[in-house]
Amino acid sequence: MTQVKSLADLRKIKDDLQGKMGLREKSNSPESLVQIRVAMATCGIASGAKQVMEFFMEELDKRNIQAVVTQTGCMGYCFAEPTVEITLPGQAPVVYGYVDTAKADSIIEKYIKNGELVEGIIPVNYETIQK
């Protein structure tokens, strides 16, 4: 039987990360990171929010962009699910609708990397957004 991974193997990963950590620490204050919130209410999940959230987590890491990816409940845009709210450091949040992995890719390349707006922004009244 092959050896199944256990928490003992996690220690190695932890040690690696701690090795790199010193270099990173300075840029790690949350305001300096890109914040991404994926709407994960019933309608979001049903329309593929999980794949979109995984895509952001994996691709941002691959492309060396430090970001915080979290989930939120209903943002009130059932018609445009999956929806994703992106907050660039020091800027107002922007909500994108109908986000699939292709759209997520151009959001990363254009908006997150270069600040260029991508099609599909939902005009938002922030009063209505729930956490």
Partner 1 sequence: MRDMAMHIMDIAQNSIYANATAITIEVIENKDDDSYVVIVDDNGGGMSREMVSKVTDPYVTTRTTRKTGLGIPLLKLNAERTGGNFHIHSEEGKGTNVKAEFVFTHPDRLPAGDIAGIIVLLIAANPGIEFKYQHVTNKGKYALCTAEINETLEGVSISEPSVVRFLKEMIKENQQQILIS
Range 29-32 contact pairs with CB under 8 angstroms and sequence separation of 24 or more: 30/68, 31/89, 31/90, 32/89
Rounded least distance, CB 43 to ligand ATP, Å: 6
- Number of CB atoms found within 10 A of residue 65's CB: 14
Rounded least distance, CB 43 to ligand FES, Å: 3
Closest residue by Cα to residue 124 from 37, 32, 34: 37
Residue 21 binds which one of ligand ATP, ligand FES, partner 1, none, with CB within 5 to 8 A depending on kind?
Answer: partner 1
Among 23, 25, 32, 68, binds partner 1 (CB under 8 A): 68
Say if strands 84-87 and 34-39 run parallel, antiparallel, or are unpaired. antiparallel
| 64 DSSP assignment | T
Which residue type occupies 128? T
Rounded least distance, CB 131 to ligand ATP, Å: 13
Name the segment binding partner 1 (CB under 8 A); options: 11-19, 81-89, 94-102, 104-112.
11-19
Among 11, 14, 21, 42, binds ligand ATP (CB under 6 A): 42
- Interface ranges with ligand ATP (CB under 6 A): 41-42, 74
